[in-house]
Structure 1
Amino acid sequence: MSTVTHHTQDQHSNDSSYQLRHSFSAMRLSFCWLGTRKSLSSDQLQQAANQFGAEGKFISAGKKLLDTGHPAMKGVSQLKRQITEYWKGGSLPYPEAGIRLVRHSDLDRLNQQMASYQEQLVLAVRELQANYDEIKELAAERLGGLFSESDYPVTLEGLFEVSWDFPSVEPPEYLRRLQPELYEQECQRVRSRFDEAVQLAEQAFVDELSGLVSHLGERLSGSDDGKPKVFRDSAVDNLREFFDRFGRLNVSSCPELDQLVERARDIVTGVGPSTLRSDSSLRQQVASQLSSVQSVLDGLMVDRPRRRILRG
């Protein structure tokens, strides 16, 4: 690779890192969540081990305290997933567990939606509390001798909560005055973290686009018993949602990825799921075009080193 190409890539990385650092804020999402399982006591483990002629210290076992399939329990669990998906969908990864980066222009909208989710969670927990006695009675029937009233809190208030804040990821300003050398070290550390955040974002976009393109292409080109495969509207809709999110969050760190996103967008622009189902020639055309995009994406995924994307 030429020196000019290396310089261009480094410049893109520096520009993107600067944009990410000055146009995004760190956001941390936290949950307080009552566990639904508990390990058996040592006596219970020994009883279980005796059934198999085993030693208690060499086995592990637990009991399910709450029926996660109960509608009221599913209500709070689904809301937790919805909150997490919304947070991740409107932000970029950051190399620190539990923290992601949110564009400044999205802060107000995201904060309002989180407040709405918080209110919804309060209502969902109230519904769960109203069914709490029933859920415990069912647990007593199913757990038999393993049931213990002491495993269950008297009230669920305060045991299912969501909170968020916007921690500073910049070096503390007082270090500049008190320890200039340490301050400079911290500045370098933060620069490195934002450089990594750019790479994590790029990798996440490539992986997601590849999955969406691959899925839609496989649905369009494949067949079952000689008939075109059935596909859901979401196969197309999810791709369009990706384009919108990419447009909001992209920091233009990878020109090749930008071009691929535009190519994929052009391919499905004006093409609806119903048209793809009824027009076989269009279906084949779109499948072929997506295949060419996928081949380039595969190259990007091979060429770029795999990095660990922190969950949370």
Structure 2
Amino acid sequence: MKSENAMFAGLTLRVWTARKYDKRVSEEVAEIHNAPPSAGRYNKRLIDHPAYERVISALGDARVFHYKNTLASHLDGWRVLTTSNFEPYSDGIRKRKQKVSMLVSDLVEAWPEAIAEARARLNGMFSDGDYPDPRGLHERFGIEVSIIPLPNPGAFCPGLEGEAAEEAIANVREQEAKAVEAAMRDLWEKLYSPVSKMVERLSDPNAIFRDSLVENLREMVEILPRLNFTGDGRFDELVQRARSLSVHQPQALRDDKALRADVAAKAAEIAAQMAAFMGGSPSSETLMRKAA
């Protein structure tokens, strides 16, 4: 993996969980049940308001977007972001930051109502000290992305010489190989997963499926060409074949049994070919039997 083709991206989400451990209540519950204090912990749900839930949902959407638009790596907390997908990724993160900020502003506005609801719901368990100042809520929620370059063996530790330099470069190359392996496995899995699910659901003419079966594939075939950091022609060809399956409307697949069977068979062919390349997914015979 060349350093000019990709980078590492790390996503950090700031979240106020609106949960609070209450030692007093925990001890009271333990006493009522004649149990030791260590028997359990009572965590209060401080806020139960739609404005808060919308903020949490938006942060969750940012995490999903991050995972869809990056590839796995061998480093915890870091994923591979290709240069081809840098601008779409950055634009998507920027929009999600703006949305979270807007929703937090809505939460600030709804704060008196949310506190009044909590006071009534928690009753004797309510404590003003559990709640942050609403003026600081924007600091409690947020999206941050960190970018670092991939290691470049040719430009690593220029101050080292001899065996020390060789050892350092060998280590960098080993890490690079691990990064490539993890990213490539994830790249293929991102296509294999929605295609194989299409085989599973469409092969049975009576099986119920949601619109997301097609929508998920449709979304991935738009993203995946930008994630193919090695320029693997085999992968690009499979993406194009999968794209031809994603053009069908979900309702058409429900209404037209012949179309449904045809799409299932073509999806099975793609999945079987991918399984052969990936070496570890279901065999081509299994996939083809499902579509038969």
TM-score, normalised via structure 2 length: 0.80
Q: Distance in 1 between matches of 2:18 and 2:89?
A: 29
Change beyond 3 A, Cα 1:296–1:170: closer
In 2, distance between residues paired with 1:301 and 1:140? 55
Gaps of 5+ in 1: 1-16, 305-312
Give the CA deviation at 1:96.
2.0
Equivalence for 2:289: none
2: CA distance between counterparts of 1:126 and 1:147?
Answer: 24
Within the candidate set 222, 226, 236, 1:248 is matched to 226
The answer to whether residue 38 in structure 2 is matched with residue 65 in structure 1 is no
Q: Which amino acid aligns with 2:75?
A: E
Contact (CA 8 Å) 2:6, 2:150: kept in 1 or not? Answer: no
| Residue of structure 2 in register with 1:238 after alignment | 216
How far did 1:212 drift?
A: 1.3
Deviation at 1:38, TM superposition (A): 2.0
Report if the CA contact (8 A) 1:169-1:190 is conserved: no
Cα distance between partner residues in 1 of 2:246 and 2:45? 48
Contact kept? 1:32, 1:160, Cα under 8 Å: yes
Name the residue aligned to 1:150.
Answer: 129
Query: 1:14 maps to which residue?
Result: none
Residue 218 of structure 2 aligns with an amino acid whose one-letter code is: R
- Structure 1 counterpart SS, 2:12: strand
Residues 280, 115 of structure 1: CA spacing in aligned structure 2 closer, same or farther, 3 A cutoff?
A: closer
Match for residue 97 of structure 2 among 101, 105, 118: 118
Aligned-pair CA distance for 1:126: 0.9
1:289 to 263, 266, 275: 266
How far does residue 98 in structure 1 lie from its aligned partner after superposition? Answer: 2.5
CA RMSD, Structure 1 to Structure 2 (Å)? 3.0
RCO higher in structure (CA 8 A, sep ≥6): 1
Gaps in structure 2 of 5+ consecutive residues: 282-292
Conserved in 1, the CA contact under 8 Å of 2:187 and 2:227? no
CA distance in 2, matches of 1:181, 1:284: 61
- Contact 1:26 1:100 survives alignment (8 Å): yes
> Shift of residue 295 of structure 1?
4.1
Number of residue pairs aligned between Structure 1 and Structure 2: 278
CA 182–63 in structure 1, closer or farther in 2 if over 3 Å, else same:
farther
Partners of 2:246 and 2:122 lie apart in 1 by 55
